[in-house]
Amino acid sequence: MKGIKGIAKNNPQEANRLADEIIKNTYRTLMTRGMKGCYVYCTDSKLSEYLKERLNKEA
């Protein structure tokens, strides 16, 4: 996430959008590389529900 701090100084909304995109892409990449499965443990109940909804839409 190099360069986010510089962008945030000039355009905080663009920096947040870019950071969000990078984070989502990273998790998408990691979660699709499981050869024998992928387990995700969520301590955040809202995130847990969001992931369950997304997985159900894909199936």
The pLDDT value given to residue 4: 81
Residue predicted with more confidence, 59 or 37? 37
pTM above 0.85, yes or no: no
Inform me whether the pLDDT recorded for 59 exceeds 60. no
Domain count for the chain, please give it.
1
Residue 22's contacts (CB-CB under 8 Å, 6 or more residues apart) are 1
Domain hosting residue 9, numbered range = 4-58
Exposure string of 23-59, with b = 16+ CB inside 10 Å and e = fewer, is eeeeeeeeeeeeeeeeeeeeeeeeeeeeeeeeeeeee
